[in-house]
Copies of this chain bind each other. A is one copy, B any other.
Amino acid sequence: MYNIVFIGFGVVGTGLAEIMHNKKDYLKNKYGFEYNVLGVCDLIKGSIYDENGLDLEKVLKLNKEKGKIIDYPAKEKGLKSVEMIKKPEVDIIVEVTPTNVKTGEPGLTHYRTALENKKHIVSTNKGPVALKYRELKEIADKNNVYLGFEGTVLSGTPAINLATRDLAGCEIKSIQGILNGTTNYILTKMEEGREYEDVLKEAQKLGYAETDPTADVEAYDPLAKIVILANTVMEGNVDLNKVPREGITKITLEDVKRAKKNGKRIKLIGKAWREGGEVKAQIKPEEIPLTHPLANVMGVLNAITFETDVTGDVTIIGPGAGAYTAGYAMLTDMLEIHRRF
């Protein structure tokens, strides 16, 4: 029986909570995985805690109906995130506060507090892993707890675990990926002859792009992801602030057409490779031959090709965003905790 707290309770946090609630019996019967949610701490929605467990169904209902959870009749209310993480009876921290790739906060403090207090952490928050992986991994190993961040790259589509676990024993020689759905959607639609600005507006209407689309179209989001892949899967020491980054804002309809004429397709590609004993990374638009598996990854789908020494090129394709798929990523990490500890 694992005691779990949610730090952050936005779309991804509630996505995970819904999956776990709906699959409670399935997880118990199939994997012997049982859990109790003791607390939820969200800056806007409120902070509730009970060491005997919350009624997750009630919490989800309250959240759905009122957009906040503070009215839940919990034993303790108003605990700060760090206080909740430190509670001695808590085993696993679900960290789903917003990504900040400049400071990593507040996620970084949550990661450190969890690991230093010997709690497993599962998270979709890219900031801490993109900025401080080595430090965090060291604390996790020292305290014999799990640092789970499958959901930071390709959300629930296996990426980190695929490379480190299924491809264990291989040397990953290079990585190439379509790591951002919004930009891949825009490039896909431009191939149909539509202008960048036009497609961007549509993507915003569909909820694929934010009102301020900078993080996607200027490639800050996939930058963090390729840095995470470079530093975790390839054990590099890449500094996010020094990685060459180019978004898709300068891509014209002409560029897209010209590539197509040459049997190629423009994709925003995150790349990591070994050079002179070091791991290097970059993110920029590239022309990919149509025969390459990545060239045929269309719309909001994401994909990664891992070049390995003994089992060739392995490509994984799947959704890269969404409440359920991102939430699910943390469930797969929890099941690994259950197998391993």
Contacts and interface: CB of A to CB of B under 8 A. Distances in A.
A291 interface: yes
A165 B168 contact: no
Nearest to A329: B311
Nearest to A155: B311
Interface in A100-148: none
Nearest to A327: B310
Contacts of A319: 311-313
A295 to B, nearest CB: 8
A168 B293 contact: no
B169 A158 contact: no
A239 interface: no
Contacts of A167: 158, 332
B314 A317 contact: yes
Interface size class of A (residues with CB under 8 A): 35 or more
B311 A156 contact: yes
Given A166-B165, A169-B23, A318 B312 contact: yes
A313 B318 contact: yes
A124 to B, nearest CB: 13
A331 interface: yes
A32 to B, nearest CB: 12
Contact of A315 (B23, B295, B316): B316
A325 B167 CA distance: 11
A322 interface: yes
Contact of A168 (B310, B318, B322, B332): B332
A315 B310 CA distance: 21
A298 B165 CA distance: 27
Contacts of A328: 169-170, 310-311
Contacts of A329: 311
A141 to B, nearest CB: 13
A168 B158 CA distance: 11
Contact of A314 (B166, B312, B318): B318
A72 interface: no
Given A166-B332, A315-B317, A315-B318, 4 more contacts: A161-B165, A310-B327, A312-B325, A313-B318
Interface of A: 19, 23, 26-27, 31, 155-158, 161-162, 165-171, 291, 293, 295-298, 301, 310-319, 322, 324-325, 327-329, 331-332, 335-336, 339-340
